[in-house]
């Protein structure tokens, strides 16, 4: 656990080859950026990164490599992702000079009405986090096949082969993943979990070889039978029977009718850089809203880690998250005012509400768990930013018979109050936390990146952009620098912010800054909460090379060739 404890407290390691932070003089990077000209991959597990590189070297493109890495991560990091979860991606296609967005999130069961759901949960005021009720359609596999059908070069059998091989032969479990796997062992009280993920009732330890032959068999069915094997074939039938047996509502019909959606990414310009996110039902535009508010402050005169930096960031986050709680939802059910929310004029109005002291709460401006992230870039300058999750760690705990994976619990994020944008309804996509990001400069790729960790994600996105644009950090420093995390905002599930929430700061912020923040009525904690896990690939157009980054809070690795 030595490495985990170092990661948890955000220890900042000096690196002799990395320039000190231009503002504070403190070295933030834990390692140099990885630099390569032919291809680059950054994931949260080193073996998955190597799978992506192998796919690139064998003639696959960035999309093929991302699918292969994601399938491998579903095996090696089931604490954050898998075939039972959802997927989102932003893809840069160099030949077309265009960004594509994919929403591969699943919908709630059509047979489960709000009335039935409220009857099932009884006196509870929220949807349970575990068991059959929060299970929604897994969108991941359809996402893979959509990406592959539109952009892939290799066959899906070739892309899935590395994960199949590792599932059969086994892989050594890495340190941080072993820690979270052990914390998830309590899920053995749910059907199928122990047989799938535990051995003799225990989670695998660091370095232990783990095999998942059931997952290998499932992946082989996809390799030979294609997408429909999951949504209309034997896998769908197994899921249907399993859910019926254990009191769930997800059905064969729900799976058979599922489809992903290609969407237009949404952007704002932050000091000359175009930052791109996907529209709701995800929370990506919260990062754009935060950046728009923060752009009104002159950070050339504000030091990194200063009282002003933290204060303005936290208040901008509070403003964006009030809108997030009430105005982000499945766009098929509610027309979220995205254009207005990400406008500069709206940001200027909201900025006026920020004073020199912390606000205990803001009103909505318009009254109308764990995850994996990966990014890959290829020799043809195509890039993909992909994020995938079960929601709460290993998901609902419900593991269908013999399939080797756990179903997600994303349905927990619906609001049970009728009449709101994110209110529960049959066949509806819940509010989503997982968000990929992309930055362009003058119409060219600049950075493909993401930050894992629930509500941390838009906060992390905004901080990565600020660290590079405002504070002059490189791609590695931007991820390793100590983070600001605000919790306690109003939620899409209906909870209201109380007493201004709480600000948690990683080690590295000066004690004097903490004292000044308290004077401004911020409630502070140190090193508490999920500070996320960042991966990024920057494209250096001048030298025509990639610079890869993988931060120290995860087991991950950036690698290129």
Task: Kindly report, residue by residue over 67-115, the tens digit of the pLDDT.
Answer: 999 999 999 999 999 999 999 999 999 999 999 999 999 999 999 999 9
- Residue in 379, 409, 416 with CA at minimum distance from that of residue 395: 409
* Strands ordered across the beta sheet of 524-526: 484-487, 502-505, 524-526
What pLDDT score was predicted for residue 8?
A: 37
What pLDDT score was predicted for residue 61?
A: 98
Q: How many domains does the chain have?
A: 2
| Percentage of the residues of the chain whose pLDDT score is greater than 70 | 94
Q: Where do we find the tokens 């575990």?
A: 130
Residues 190 and 158 both lie in one domain: yes
| Residue 289, CB-side half-sphere exposure with 13 Å CA sphere | 32
pLDDT digits (tens, 9 = 90+) for 141-152: 999 999 999 999
Distance of CA 69 to the CA centre of its chain: 15
pLDDT digits (tens, 9 = 90+) for 180-195: 999 999 999 999 999 9
pLDDT digits (tens, 9 = 90+) for 20-79: 444 445 668 888 999 999 999 999 999 999 999 999 999 999 999 999 999 999 999 999
What positions carry a catalytic annotation?
371
What pLDDT score was predicted for residue 318?
A: 95
pLDDT digits (tens, 9 = 90+) for 214-247: 999 999 999 999 999 999 999 999 999 999 999 9
Residues 241 and 351 both lie in one domain: no
Residues 215 and 228 both lie in one domain: yes
What pLDDT score was predicted for residue 7?
A: 37
CA 381 to each of CA 41, 209, 223, 529, 545: distance values in angstroms, whole numbers, following the listed order:
13, 36, 27, 36, 9
What pLDDT score was predicted for residue 366?
A: 67
In the predicted structure, residue 486 carries a pLDDT above the cut 70: yes
List, in sequence order, every beta strand (DSSP E) within 139-257. Answer: 171-172, 209-210
| Percentage of the residues of the chain whose pLDDT score is greater than 90 | 85
Assess if residue 425 is contained within a domain.
Answer: no
Residues 404 and 364 both lie in one domain: no
> Taking all residues of the chain, what is their mean pLDDT, rounded to a whole number?
92
What pLDDT score was predicted for residue 27?
A: 67
Domain final position from 358, 387, 413 = 413
Assess if residue 438 is contained within a domain.
Answer: no
Assess if residue 317 is contained within a domain.
Answer: yes
What pLDDT score was predicted for residue 360?
A: 84
Range of the domain at 298: 265-272+284-371+452-560
Residues 339 and 386 both lie in one domain: no
What pLDDT score was predicted for residue 453?
A: 84
Element (H, E) at 261: strand 261-263
In the predicted structure, residue 134 carries a pLDDT above the cut 60: yes
Assess if residue 467 is contained within a domain.
Answer: yes
Assess if residue 2 is contained within a domain.
Answer: no
Task: State how far the Cα of 426 lies from the Cα of 109, in Å rounded to an integer.
Answer: 6
Residues 257 and 226 both lie in one domain: yes
In the predicted structure, residue 508 carries a pLDDT above the cut 90: no
**Would you place residue 495 in the very low, low, confident or very high pLDDT band (cuts 50, 70, 90)?**
confident
**Would you place residue 18 in the very low, low, confident or very high pLDDT band (cuts 50, 70, 90)?**
very low
Two tokens, residue 249: 């509502």
Residues 401 and 460 both lie in one domain: no
Task: State how far the Cα of 291 lies from the Cα of 47, in Å rounded to an integer.
Answer: 34
Among 365-369, 402-406, 535-539, the least confident range = 365-369
Residues 294 and 333 both lie in one domain: yes
Domain final position from 386, 413, 440 = 413
Residues 256 and 342 both lie in one domain: no
Domain final position from 358, 390, 413 = 413
Residues 124 and 183 both lie in one domain: yes
In the predicted structure, residue 17 carries a pLDDT above the cut 50: no
Assess if residue 444 is contained within a domain.
Answer: no
Q: Where do we find the tokens 């489960």?
A: 112
Residues 108 and 203 both lie in one domain: yes
Tell me the CATH number at 536. Answer: 1.10.246.130
Assess if residue 15 is contained within a domain.
Answer: no
What pLDDT score was predicted for residue 24?
A: 47
Residues 398 and 540 both lie in one domain: no
Assess if residue 198 is contained within a domain.
Answer: yes
Q: Where do we find the tokens 């930096």?
A: 309
Task: State how far the Cα of 317 lies from the Cα of 522, in Å rounded to an integer.
Answer: 13
């Amino acid at each position: 656990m030595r490495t985990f404890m170092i990661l948890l407290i955000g220890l900042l390691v000096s690196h002799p080859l990395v320039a000190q932070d231009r503002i504070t003089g403190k070295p933030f990077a834990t390692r140099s950026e990885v630099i390569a000209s032919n291809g680059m991959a950054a994931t949260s597990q080193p073996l998955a990164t190597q799978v992506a590189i192998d796919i690139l070297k064998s003639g696959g493109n960035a999309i093929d490599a991302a699918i292969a890495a994601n399938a491998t991560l579903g095996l090696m990091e089931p604490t954050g992702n898998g075939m039972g979860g959802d997927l989102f991606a932003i893809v840069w296609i160099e030949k077309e000079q265009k960004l594509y967005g994919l929403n591969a999130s699943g919908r709630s069961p059509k047979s489960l009405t709000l009335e039935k759901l409220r009857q099932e949960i009884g006196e509870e005021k929220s949807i349970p986090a575990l068991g059959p009720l929060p299970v929604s359609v897994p969108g991941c596999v359809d996402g893979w096949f959509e990406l592959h059908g539109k952009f892939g070069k290799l066959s899906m059998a070739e892309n899935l082969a590395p994960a199949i091989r590792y599932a059969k032969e086994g892989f050594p479990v890495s340190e941080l993943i072993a820690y979270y796997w052990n914390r998830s062992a309590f899920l053995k009280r749910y059907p199928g979990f122990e047989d799938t993920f535990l051995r003799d009732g225990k989670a695998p330890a660091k370095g232990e070889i783990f095999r998942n032959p059931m997952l290998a068999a499932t992946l082989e069915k996809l390799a030979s039978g294609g997408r429909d094997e999951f949504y209309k074939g034997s896998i769908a039938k197994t899921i249907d029977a399993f859910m019926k047996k254990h009191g769930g509502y997800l059905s064969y019909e729900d799976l058979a009718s599922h489809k992903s959606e290609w969407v237009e990414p949404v952007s704002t310009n932050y000091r000359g850089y175009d930052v791109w996110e996907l529209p709701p039902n995800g929370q990506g535009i919260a990062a754009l809203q935060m950046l728009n508010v923060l752009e009104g402050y002159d950070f050339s005169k504000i030091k990194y880690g200063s009282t002003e930096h933290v204060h303005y960031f936290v208040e901008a986050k509070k403003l964006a998250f009030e809108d997030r709680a009430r105005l982000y939802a499945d766009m098929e059910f509610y027309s979220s005012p995205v254009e207005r929310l990400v406008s500069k004029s709206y940001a200027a109005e909201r900025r006026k509400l920020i004073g020199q002291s912390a606000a205990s709460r803001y009103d909505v401006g318009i009254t109308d768990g764990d995850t994996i992230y990966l990014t890959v870039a290829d020799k043809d300058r195509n890039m993909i930013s992909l994020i995938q999750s079960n929601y709460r760690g290993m998901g609902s705990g419900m593991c269908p018979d013999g399939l080797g994976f756990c179903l997600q619990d994303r349905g927990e994020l619906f609001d049970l109050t009728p009449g709101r944008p994110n209110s529960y309804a049959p066949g509806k996509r819940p509010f989503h936390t997982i968000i990929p990001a992309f930055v362009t400069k003058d119409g060219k790729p600049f950075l493909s990146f993401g930050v894992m960790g629930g509500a941390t994600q838009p906060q992390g996105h905004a901080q990565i952009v600020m660290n590079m644009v405002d504070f002059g950090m490189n791609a590695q420093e931007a991820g390793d620098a100590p983070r600001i995390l605000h919790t306690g905002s109003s939620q899409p599930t209906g909870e209201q912010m109380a007493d201004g929430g709480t600000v948690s700061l990683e080690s590295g912020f000066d004690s004097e800054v903490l004292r000044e923040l308290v004077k401004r009525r911020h409630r502070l904690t140190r090193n508490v909460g999920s500070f996320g896990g960042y991966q990024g690939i920057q494209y250096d157009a001048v030298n025509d090379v990639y610079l890869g980054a993988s931060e120290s809070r995860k087991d991950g690795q950036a690698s290129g060739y």
